């Protein structure tokens, strides 16, 4: 009996020791965790934070973000974070309700951005959320995040400012390459045709016109009228290539291809990064991949 009691006491002691050390570990880690809404923001914040913070995204790579519904485990993970950073402009339709259950400070990047408004369908008059898709606007994301992190950890300001500067230099380089490419295009080719109307900031910043099959992914019903309009635009302007996005089906765009003789240029990345090892597993890779994909399909056409 004594022996059993001794074993029990010993087991209890080791279990409490194990639990307390685990708990402490989690506590330390969580004190440094920033919660973000989507994977592109996760990468941008991580690049600036360096070793100073852990960054955790509620939505995962490759996931459609607009219609996301948080799970109870998302709430548990977020409850341990320091702050919540989101894009805003209506991109995270779920975040108001999500945050109402949490005691988390909220940073909304769109507070720092000039909106471009959606001009079609149910979304008319609402800001287009996809500002990060233009490297010029990406720099504003970086500035906003440097500010937010500095406020959280003023003693690491130098690190955040330095990381932000290096990062912005990379964006300036992509910005320059994009402008150079646009200058090689004939006037009728200066069109970006996509599935979702997610490229307004890019087209606006680089002097392109845009056409798309639907304004926002949250409402992906394609109407015959809209399809006819895109087909007409592609035919009339002899647009060489059309595109879709990685998180939605390209089926409707392939109909445009059949009807017009334009080539299908490929899937661009907008709302979500690819899985690690994929072609767009960082924000910089995403911008470079989109630029290369657009470049290649237009040049294939020019050579053909």
Q: Which is nearer to Zn ion, 34 or 195 (CB)?
A: 195
The residue of the chain with the least Cβ separation from Zn ion equals: 271
Write down the least CB distance from residue 271 to Zn ion, Å: 4
Strand ranges of the sheet holding 83-86, from the earlier edge strand across to the other edge: 54-57, 33-36, 83-86, 105-108
Write down the least CB distance from residue 50 to Zn ion, Å: 29
- Among candidates 64, 63, 118, 66, which has minimal Cα distance to 87? 66
Contact assessment for residue 182 and residue 207, using Cβ atoms and an 8 Å cutoff: yes
Q: Which is nearer to Zn ion, 271 or 288 (CB)?
A: 271
Contact assessment for residue 65 and residue 271, using Cβ atoms and an 8 Å cutoff: yes
Q: Which is nearer to Zn ion, 175 or 271 (CB)?
A: 271
Q: What is the CA angle 24-34-92, rounded to 5? A: 135
Residues forming contacts to Zn ion in the complex (CB under 5 A) are 198, 217, 271
Q: 28: which 2 tokens? A: 């330390």
Tell which phi-psi region holds residue 266, choosing left (phi > 0), alpha (psi between -120 and 50) or beta.
Answer: left
Q: Which is nearer to Zn ion, 148 or 250 (CB)?
A: 250
Q: Which is nearer to Zn ion, 146 or 198 (CB)?
A: 198
Write down the least CB distance from residue 290 to Zn ion, Å: 14
Write down the least CB distance from residue 303 to Zn ion, Å: 32
Write down the least CB distance from residue 7 to Zn ion, Å: 59
Give the whole-angstrom CA distance, residue 63 versus residue 273: 8
Q: Which is nearer to Zn ion, 205 or 271 (CB)?
A: 271
Contact assessment for residue 256 and residue 212, using Cβ atoms and an 8 Å cutoff: no
Write down the least CB distance from residue 198 to Zn ion, Å: 5
Give the whole-angstrom CA distance, residue 164 versus residue 148: 12
Give the whole-angstrom CA distance, residue 271 versus residue 128: 12
């Amino acid at each position: 009996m004594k022996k059993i009691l001794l074993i029990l006491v010993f087991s209890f002691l080791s279990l409490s020791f194990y639990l307390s050390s685990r708990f402490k570990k989690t506590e330390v880690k969580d004190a440094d965790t920033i919660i973000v809404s989507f994977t592109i923001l996760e990468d941008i914040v991580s690049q600036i934070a360096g070793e100073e913070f852990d960054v955790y995204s509620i939505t995962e790579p490759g996931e459609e973000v607009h219609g996301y519904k948080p799970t109870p485990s998302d709430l548990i993970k977020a409850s341990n974070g320091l702050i919540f950073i989101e894009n805003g402009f209506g991109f995270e339709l779920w975040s108001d309700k999500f945050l109402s259950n949490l005691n988390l400070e909220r940073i909304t990047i769109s507070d720092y951005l000039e909106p471009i408004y959606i001009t079609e369908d149910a979304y008319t008059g609402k800001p287009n959320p996809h500002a990060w898709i233009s490297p010029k606007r990406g720099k504003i994301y970086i500035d906003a995040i440097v500010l937010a992190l500095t406020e959280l950890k003023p003693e690491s300001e130098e690190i955040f400012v330095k990381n932000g500067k290096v990062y912005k230099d990379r964006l300036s380089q992509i910005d320059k390459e994009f402008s150079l490419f646009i200058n090689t295009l004939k006037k009728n080719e200066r069109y970006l045709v996509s599935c979702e109307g997610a490229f307004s900031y890019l087209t606006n910043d680089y002097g392109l016109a845009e056409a798309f099959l639907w304004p926002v992914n949250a409402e992906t019903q394609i109407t015959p009228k809209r399809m006819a309009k895109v087909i007409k635009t592609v035919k009339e302007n002899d647009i060489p290539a059309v595109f879709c996005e990685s998180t939605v089906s390209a089926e409707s765009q392939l109909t445009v291809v059949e009807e017009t003789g334009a080539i299908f240029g490929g899937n661009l990345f907008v709302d979500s990064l690819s899985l690690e090892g994929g072609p767009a597993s960082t924000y910089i890779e995403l911008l470079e991949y989109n630029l290369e994909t657009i470049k290649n399909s237009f040049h294939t056409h020019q050579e053909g």
